[in-house]
Structure 1
Amino acid sequence: MRSTLTVHELEAFLLLAETCNFHRAAERFHVSQPAFSRTIQSAEQKLVTRLFDRNTRQVGLTRAGEELLPIARRIVAEFYDSLSDLSEFVAGRKGLITIACLPSAAALLPETMFKFEQSYPRVTISLVPLSNEFVREMVFDGRADFGISVAPGPQGQVVFEPFTRDDFVLICSRKDPLAKRRQVDWNVLAERPIVASGSASSIRPIVDQVYADLGLSIQPKYEATNISVVGAMVSAGLGIAPIPRLALRLMDSTGLAVLKLGRPVVYRDIGILTRSGRSLSAAATKFLDTLRMQ
């Protein structure tokens, strides 16, 4: 075989095999008969064999043509099926969206996912809950279409678009005397054992900065890398903890009291992380449009 047949040549072959008439096949192919004949000849030259026996009265498939017929049908059908799939992807009606997100921020997405599903049922969504540094890493190297997290440090090629604010609250055991109060100041943390989030979390740096700004010298009594474990430890009465409000959705709050934290009011910005200079797929773009409208 000298070179590969084109889809154009395979389509011409299929038309001639169907009509057994050069004139009718050329008309349906929307070319002149000489041009159509050249297309068939090109296919035969590439295969180094005749595909049709023809004379002035009739045209018929050779044995090689009969062998090619089912192959050509399959290739042309698969080609147009693939183009259809591509057009669905380009239009945002099909594909996979991978979202890297803080575990607490993931709670913002189910409502958007449900609404998005109504319009784009053929799009699959994969949520990957991670700490903030790994969210940024997945967005940067392209394993995630976008991320939902706090603002990264030096942003570099990762762009941060603020989306919502997540205020900090204080949690304590329902049996703790503090549970009777509705609001406390950050200074109260200097008077009680503290259950802290792990140093790698997005929560810890914010809390430690508040302590520093207030001149509080606080060493946590307990530490847990998993925020749900922090909630369980507080519920058991081991201490109190300042946490973002969204993190409450990851805890069993049955034994917890939630108090507003004031003086100062502290919050963290939650936003959308994308890679600078990289275009999002149509499906990812439409999902973010839906998220922004929520």
Structure 2
Amino acid sequence: MRERPAAPAHALSVSLHQLRLFVTLARYRSFTRAGDEFGITQSAVSRSIRELEDEIALRLFDRTTRQVTLTDTGRKLLARIAPLVEELEATLRPRADAQAGQGIVNMASSCGLTASVLPALLASCKERLPDVSITVMDRPQNAVLQLVRSGEAEIGVVIAPDNLDELAFEPLFADGFAAVVGASHRLADAARLEWTQLRGLPLLLLDDDAGSLAAVEAALARHAVAGAVRQRLTQPVAVARMADAGLGVGVLPMHARLACDSARTRFIPLAPDPARTVMIVRRRGRALRESAAHVWSHFIASSTHTLNTSQAIEA
């Protein structure tokens, strides 16, 4: 008896437009903003993404009335699709447009580093590479990593993330923590403080998005600084200003001194020093364009010289 031939596999019908919408929605986590990017309505974005999910039989986003988030499947697909979409668009884009964009580098940076570390590096880069224009995306650290993994940003500047999957990196400099107090605080004249001296004091910390909270909490636990009242803030300058007002002792990365140090605040190094690494990251296995490669090399070469003041200690 002759065997019946197997039924042909379902041929996927997925458009570049749908894939671009998928990458854009993953970036903005908003149907409205994704629609604005393409000049279409929110409902049109939702319909196109739903059709894409139906076509590939995968759920890419979790949707609630308040937010849109990638599923685990969506995150894995994004890491593979985004570079392909980028490469295909670059191939199809007219050559003149490609040449016009050669000197533009998209960089993402963790918010605290944007305010403290990045200005000096960007200034030196502008002097050394005058034909290169850097577009900075100022985001929470987890968003920076996602932008680099998706290819939306070519380069990222972050603080020693826990997960470097799919990323290549180079260290820029080591950075410790400091206690931040007002000039009139009883600890203001100390040259260095032990973590144990924070026991019983109200503490002002940065929240999870800054990439410092886990390291600070680990140091506090290691030195048995328990039971202290903790306030979590989003900006280093808010921590410094509240410390100056006598509302608690701030704990900040030493590099934050570049953004919020003043005559009214003291940054006092904390010991033992659980130094972390500020690093530059890019996608692993993907060569940088020439202009981005020049920026990458310049940041690595100039970071120690440019950022010496980030670790300066008051006399």
Deviation (angstroms), 1:255: 1.9
Q: Which structure 2 segments of 5+ residues have no match? A: 1-93, 303-315
Q: What amino acid is aligned across from residue 109 of structure 1 in structure 2?
A: L
Structure 1 residues 111 and 221 mapped into 2: Cα distance closer, same or farther (>3 Å)?
A: closer
CA contact (8 A) 1:232 1:252 kept: no
Match of 1:245 among 216, 233, 254: 254
Structure 1 residues 226 and 119 mapped into 2: Cα distance closer, same or farther (>3 Å)?
A: closer
Structure 1 residues 172 and 193 mapped into 2: Cα distance closer, same or farther (>3 Å)?
A: same
Three-state SS of the structure 2 residue aligned to 1:279 is coil
The residue number in structure 2 matching 1:135 is 144
The two structures, once aligned, show a CA RMSD in angstroms of: 2.2
Deviation (angstroms), 1:284: 0.5
Three-state SS of the structure 2 residue aligned to 1:162 is strand
- Asked if 1:152 is matched to 2:165, the reply is no
Structure 1 residues 218 and 132 mapped into 2: Cα distance closer, same or farther (>3 Å)?
A: farther
CA contact (8 A) 1:231 1:253 kept: no
Deviation (angstroms), 1:120: 3.7
TM-score (norm 2): 0.61
The residue number in structure 2 matching 1:188 is 197
CA contact (8 A) 1:244 1:267 kept: no
Deviation (angstroms), 1:252: 5.3
CA contact (8 A) 2:105 2:292 kept: yes
273-282 or 253-262, larger mean C-alpha shift: 253-262
152-161 or 278-287, larger mean C-alpha shift: 152-161
The residue number in structure 1 matching 2:70 is none
The residue number in structure 1 matching 2:113 is 105
- Asked if 1:261 is matched to 2:270, the reply is yes
Q: Distance in 2 between matches of 1:118 and 1:255?
A: 33
Q: What amino acid is aligned across from residue 157 of structure 2 in structure 1?
A: I
Three-state SS of the structure 2 residue aligned to 1:177 is coil
- Asked if 1:176 is matched to 2:185, the reply is yes
Deviation (angstroms), 1:118: 3.9
Superimposed CA distance per residue, residues 4-50 of structure 1 (whole angstroms, 9 cap, x where no aligned partner) = xxxxxxxxxxxxxxxxxxxxxxxxxxxxxxxxxxxxxxxxxxxxxxx
- Asked if 1:276 is matched to 2:284, the reply is yes
How high is the sequence identity, in percent, across the aligned residues? Answer: 23
Which structure has the larger Rg? 1
Q: Distance in 2 between matches of 1:134 and 1:154?
A: 13
Q: What amino acid is aligned across from residue 166 of structure 1 in structure 2?
A: D
Q: What amino acid is aligned across from residue 167 of structure 2 in structure 1?
A: V
Q: What amino acid is aligned across from residue 98 of structure 1 in structure 2?
A: N
Three-state SS of the structure 1 residue aligned to 2:232 is strand
Deviation (angstroms), 1:245: 1.1
Three-state SS of the structure 1 residue aligned to 2:164 is coil
Deviation (angstroms), 1:291: 1.4
Three-state SS of the structure 1 residue aligned to 2:237 is helix
Q: What amino acid is aligned across from residue 248 of structure 1 in structure 2?
A: R
The residue number in structure 1 matching 2:17 is none
Q: Distance in 2 between matches of 1:197 and 1:87?
A: 42
Q: Distance in 2 between matches of 1:146 and 1:194?
A: 34
Q: Distance in 2 between matches of 1:120 and 1:199?
A: 34
Q: Distance in 2 between matches of 1:236 and 1:168?
A: 20
Q: Distance in 1 between matches of 2:167 and 2:285?
A: 9
Q: Distance in 2 between matches of 1:192 and 1:167?
A: 20
- Asked if 1:114 is matched to 2:123, the reply is yes
Structure 1 residues 260 and 113 mapped into 2: Cα distance closer, same or farther (>3 Å)?
A: closer
Three-state SS of the structure 1 residue aligned to 2:134 is strand
Q: Distance in 1 between matches of 2:106 and 2:253?
A: 25
The residue number in structure 1 matching 2:221 is 212
Q: How does 1:16-165 map to 2 (within 5 A)?
A: 94-106=102-114, 107-165=116-174
Three-state SS of the structure 2 residue aligned to 1:180 is coil
CA contact (8 A) 2:167 2:283 kept: yes
How many residues get paired? Answer: 208
Three-state SS of the structure 1 residue aligned to 2:208 is coil
Q: Distance in 1 between matches of 2:213 and 2:132?
A: 36
